[in-house]
With several copies, the nearest count.
Chain A
Amino acid sequence: MPIRRDDRGRYVEVEPRRTEETAWLRCRECGELVFRRKLKESNHICQRCGAYFFLTAHERVTSLVDEDSFEPLGLGATSLDPLEFVDRRPYQERLEEAQAITGLNDAILVGRGTLDGCPLVLAVMDFRFIGGSMGQVVGDEIAAALERCAQEEVPFVLVVASGGARVQEGMVSLLQMAKTVAARNVLAEAAVPFIAVLTYPSSGGMLASVGSLADITIAEQGAMIGFAGPRVIEQTTGERLPAGFQTASFALEHGMVDQVVTRESLRAELTRALSVLQGGSHG
């Protein structure tokens, strides 16, 4: 599954290769130079043109949970490189680089926290980590989080930012689709709510498994939501893609998501969703 970027989305990417933080970033939409600290205050939205800079997992977590409430739950595992994969570079090298850039073991950050006092387990993907692709670590983390939520009866919120399966793990990555879906079925039997937030991008094997099976699915404005990449579709079928293809509103119109919200209102929207699923006195 290709790692892809949608040029039509109003998403602005942080250059993923740089480990050191620069003070200024350039908005790819309007060209404005924005001060990184200012950007944080504006929820990583360009104040001039409204374009979204995508969030790192840590930034997303901070924007969604009550201050200081987040407690990481990760398994602490790193990919075993099950295929000993080498393309132009060894997969091992790519992993180490991504770990250095993101400060994460893999493309997902899992933890517990509260949102307006309501406890939840939050799993947030980081697109900078090899395109947010799902390999054995992402699969294990999501499955463990789902099982934990089922056991402890805490709602699960998954923020998707993924280009699909981790190609470098071959069939091992494909099987994470089955793994995460199996664990999602466990949560369903426990009657615990699952909310998915689809951001830029939500595609490939991630969308074709646990990412499509939430009780409530919220799309962030500017999300790219689709199974196959635009280039693959055009090359395979020769079809011309309609305007707005695979945008959040396309997904809403085609019945794939429940709501589309801006980044500013995502937190409130999650609170609203959790309160109706968790609230109530008669149980």
Chain B
Amino acid sequence: MADDTSIRALEEKVAELRTMMESGGVDLSEEITLLEKKLFALRREQYARMSDWDRVKLARHPERPRGSPLVEAVAENFYELRGDRMGGDDPALRGGPALLDGRRIMILFHHRGSTREQQHACRFGMATPQGYRKAIRLMNIAERLRLPLLSLVDTPGAYPGVQSEEQNIAGAIAESISRTLALDVPTLTVILGEGGSGGAIAIAATDRVLMMENATYSVISPEGAAAILWKDPQATPQAAQALRLTAPPLMELGLIDQIIAEPVGGAHTDPKSTADELRTAVSNHLHELSSIPLDELRALRYKRYRNAGSVRAAADQRG
């Protein structure tokens, strides 16, 4: 991000003053408040002129709230279900029943891990066929027990490994999309961080799709697009821009339903308020969805995806 260094310097200064005050007993609260105001202004200024590529970096920010800590913050009584019942358990795609604002739901979410070991085990949130087959199992349970489905998407994409191909990752994604579309319960997706291509859509073909303000949702990573279309890694920021992977253009294209506001500076600057905003948005949409009869819901869902980015639907809209 532009001016990142001056913001960091200011952040460090504030931290220093705090430490001084706590250990030394000198009252520096006034100075701190002033500096924090300055910091906030800088952040807002920077935030306002963020490029799409800045947004990608924010979506990937190592401290961004995500994975099981976020699930625990948003929902209560989360009970993790593990295993695909066919040979494995993928730690990159997780889920289980939980209570959200008093409502029983089934949550699916990508988990990228915070420590280096976790990240390695989770492959930074890139799920395998085992992950998507577990997701299908959890969707079956959700339908059986009539729990609305909440998908929290945050993945660079499905894991591109030899074993993934041997276990038919393409088929697992296809089946997962098919199962999501056929579910006889209300379904909702929030793109939390990165919504990476097939690995994301596998669990995101839901009745509604929301995006966090700084999330991205894309058919390919900007780096991948730069390499393939521009034949030039330097073109990555340009590719990020061209792909229209941030929330506002996707809202304009009619592909998402709501943008969930984040605190100035990004979700990581205030995980608590982020979780609250997220919970409120999810709760509202689930409330609305639950009032629609199931067959109507499925008909609406079909129409939504039948018309998604359709030449005809667009023509109708324009004409």
Contact = CB atoms under 8 A, between A and B. Distances in A.
Contact of A254 (B141, B160, B168, B174): B168
B263 interface: no
Given A77-B312, A227-B160, A88 B229 contact: yes
Interface string A245-283: 110000011111111000000000000110111011111
Interface stretch (A47-55, A60-68, A78-86, A110-118): A78-86
Contacts of A174: 197-198, 200-201, 218-219
Contacts of A242: 162
Contact of A170 (B98, B178, B231, B243): B243
Interface stretch (A6-14, A15-23, A37-45, A205-213): A205-213
Nearest to A283: B104
B48 interface: no
Interface residues of B, number: 86
A3 B228 contact: yes
A208 B170 contact: yes
A73 interface: no
B229 A167 contact: yes
A107 to B, nearest CB: 14
Contacts of B253: 82, 171-172
A80 B254 CA distance: 15
B242 A177 contact: no
Interface string A165-179: 101111111111111
A64 B178 CA distance: 29
Given A185-B178, A276-B104, A227 B218 contact: no
A171 B134 CA distance: 25
B265 to A, nearest CB: 26
Interface stretch (B25-33, B72-80, B269-277): B72-80
A199 interface: no
A170 B245 contact: yes
A140 B312 contact: yes
B5 interface: no
Nearest to A213: B174
Given A82-B309, A253-B89, A182 B82 contact: no
A139 to B, nearest CB: 7
B82 A172 contact: no
A277 B102 contact: no
A2 B83 contact: no
A242 B163 CA distance: 11
Interface stretch (A25-33, A120-128, A231-239): A231-239
B139 to A, nearest CB: 12
A221 interface: no
B165 interface: yes
B88 interface: yes
Interface in B132-183: 134, 141, 144-146, 158-162, 164-171, 173-175, 177-178, 181-182
Contacts of A193: 145
A226 interface: yes
A55 B213 CA distance: 45
Nearest to A203: B170
Given A1-B219, A77-B312, A212 B85 contact: yes
B302 A182 contact: yes
A100 interface: no
Contact of A252 (B82, B218, B315): B82
A181 B102 contact: no
A181 B224 contact: no
A255 to B, nearest CB: 3
Given A85-B242, A184-B178, A227-B170, A172 B309 contact: yes
Interface in B183-209: 197-198, 200-202, 205
B255 interface: yes
B220 interface: yes
Contacts of A227: 158, 160, 164-165, 169-170, 173, 198
A186 to B, nearest CB: 7
A242 B164 CA distance: 13
Nearest to A216: B81
Given A165-B219, A213-B174, A208 B169 contact: yes
A256 to B, nearest CB: 5
Interface string B83-117: 11111110000001111001110000000000000
B231 to A, nearest CB: 8
Contacts of A171: 217-219, 243-245, 250, 253, 255, 309
Given A171-B245, A213-B174, A282 B309 contact: no
A99 to B, nearest CB: 14
22 contacts: A78-B311, A80-B314, A82-B314, A87-B242, A139-B309, A165-B197, A170-B219, A171-B217, A177-B198, A179-B306, A179-B310, A184-B178, A208-B171, A208-B173, A213-B178, A227-B170, A227-B198, A233-B162, A239-B161, A252-B82, A252-B89, A272-B77
Interface of A: 1-3, 75, 77-80, 82-83, 85-88, 136-137, 139-140, 143, 165, 167-179, 181-186, 188, 191, 193, 203-205, 207-213, 215-216, 226-228, 232-233, 236-237, 239, 241-242, 245-246, 252-259, 272-273, 275-277, 279-283
The 10 closest A-B pairs by CB, nearest first: A255-B83, A172-B309, A228-B160, A280-B104, A87-B229, A212-B174, A178-B205, A207-B170, A227-B170, A175-B308
Given A179-B309, A181-B181, A185-B182, 6 more contacts: A75-B311, A140-B310, A170-B219, A182-B181, A256-B171, A282-B104
